[in-house]
Amino acid sequence: MAETVQQPIQENKAAIRRAFLRSCTPRTVDIQDPLIDPIVSRGHPNPAGLGEADRFSREGSWGQSSVLFPDLASYQAADETGVSPYGGAEYGVVLTPEADAVCRKIAALHGGFGAIICPSGLSAITTTIAAFAPRALLIPDNAYPPLLRYLRYKNICVFRYPSDASAGTVSVILREARREFRAARDIMIYLEAPGSGTFEIPDISGIAALAKSNGIISVMDNTWASHVRFKPITAGIDIVIQATTKYEGGYGDTPSGVVIAAQQAGFECLVDELRISGHGAVAPTTCARLLKRIDSTEARLDAHHETALQLVAWFQSQAFVADVLSPALPGSPCHTRFNEYFGKGNGLFSVVFRPTIPASQVAAFVEALNLFWVGESWGGHVSLVLPVCVQRELTSAPKGQVLRFHAGLEDASDLQRDLEQAARASFIPVINYAI
């Protein structure tokens, strides 16, 4: 019964989207059409919106599990080291030549000793933790929720620090951790900046120096910034993680994550873990796309950022908005650190609705959107929106409903018109604002 009731609703929504798209610019149409009905497309973004980037989807080796050797001696040497004479691994699709090329390129961009690639950003995180096997992690209060889920599952002790913590604050929490875990190898200090959903920034350089002075591994999730905005190794971080599904791949079709090690010892730990676990099996075609698109990361990131700034300005002019969260904004509490480390933003920002606006009205606003699709992840060509459930233990959380937006590569004027009509449709008064 639920299915028969839902179908007319979906068909009606598809018709509304189709009508709205007819009023949009060719740039927006190229990205959104035929992403009208997610049931038809099975929820996947429009592949035609990739344009020239689509060519890279057809490049790369087959990634067969068998790697053939000219003689027994060359096989035995490869079996001993895990590396074939052709580049890549001796068995399976772990570290194919395409993966090897991506890793070398990204490691060089970061100024690291070496890099590994995993099937997702989360697998890059979990592979890193497994490689160094800490018994306790110091993590920011705004850390990526799946990281917390993994730590609970593995019974790894968690010590939280405030999302915008100074090195001094983290040192106090580190002393607490050292009372229970005396060996430096048992502790890892983990950073994510700007943090998930609310985008606070801690004292990255100070925390990295603190970790180094205590002989503790420091790890940073640098997905928000990409190598374009920030290179954590230059700030003293030991291990850098990035979900290359995001800006390096650029279109959401490169499910992968990379881990970059500053030093040889860290790199060797990661490589050993990858080989033993088999977690590096990333499709060669994915790596081929990624290798080609890395060069255009900055241009795409700048385009996302410029559109986000225009949408942020619109939201800031609206009476129903209590706050817009983005460290790129001069009024942000972390703006000074943002300028110190990053200097320029990306396509992400969060909107805090006034507490007087009920959750049902915010939900109606989301349902009325035509160009912003409800979906996790970000960094691709299609604009997205997602409710943020802000759960903090040490850091104050916004009081109103929070939506996180990703500004895609559509025309900014079309995206603004979509926001305006959605606000009106959900009975939220709109203040006209011209881009």
Peptide bond between residue 34 and the one before it cis (omega within 30 degrees of 0): yes
* Interatomic CA distance for residues 206 and 189, integer angstroms: 12
Diameter of the chain measured on Cα atoms: 75
Residue whose C-alpha is closest to residue 368's, from 409, 307, 419, 412: 419
Q: Rg of the chain over CA atoms, in angstroms? A: 23
Class of domain 72-295: alpha beta
Contact status, residue 346 vs residue 299, Cβ threshold 8 Å: no
Helix pair 412-425, 297-316: axis angle to 10 deg: 40
Query: What does pTM read for this prediction?
Result: 0.87
Which residues 6+ apart lie within 8 Å of 55 measured at CB? none
Neighbours of 40 (CB within 10 A): 11
Q: Distances in Å between the alpha carbon of 416 and those of 116, 325, 369, 375, 413?
A: 40, 18, 11, 19, 5
Q: Could you give the residue range(s) of every CATH 3.90.1150.10 domain in the chain? A: 10-51+296-425
The b/e string for 187-199 (b: 16+ C-beta within 10 A; e otherwise) is bbbbbbbbbbbbb
Residue whose C-alpha is closest to residue 124's, from 342, 282, 346, 300: 282
Q: Which CATH number fits domain 10-51+296-425: 3.40.1280.10, 3.90.1150.10, 1.50.10.10, 3.40.50.2300?
A: 3.90.1150.10
Per-residue pLDDT of the chain (435 residues; tens, 9 = 90+): 444 445 555 668 888 888 999 999 999 998 887 666 666 666 667 666 566 655 555 555 555 566 777 778 888 888 887 777 776 666 666 677 888 899 999 999 999 999 999 999 999 999 999 999 999 999 999 999 899 999 999 999 999 999 999 999 999 999 999 999 999 999 999 999 999 889 999 999 999 999 999 999 999 999 999 999 999 999 999 999 999 999 999 888 889 999 999 999 999 999 999 888 888 888 888 898 899 999 999 999 999 999 999 999 999 999 999 999 999 999 899 999 999 999 999 999 999 999 999 999 999 999 999 999 998 889 889 999 999 877 777 777 778 899 999 999 999 999 999 999 999 998 766 666 555
Contact status, residue 354 vs residue 320, Cβ threshold 8 Å: yes
Q: How do beta strands 373-374 and 402-406 pair?
A: unpaired
Neighbours of 265 (CB within 10 A): 10
- The DSSP letter of residue 69 is -
Q: Could you give the residue range(s) of every CATH 3.40.640.10 domain in the chain? A: 72-295
- Sheet strands side by side (includes 136-140): 114-118, 257-261, 239-242, 217-221, 187-192, 136-140, 157-161
* Interatomic CA distance for residues 163 and 141, integer angstroms: 5
The b/e string for 406-424 (b: 16+ C-beta within 10 A; e otherwise) is bbbbbbbbbbbbbbbbbbe
Which tokens belong to 25?
A: 């610019």
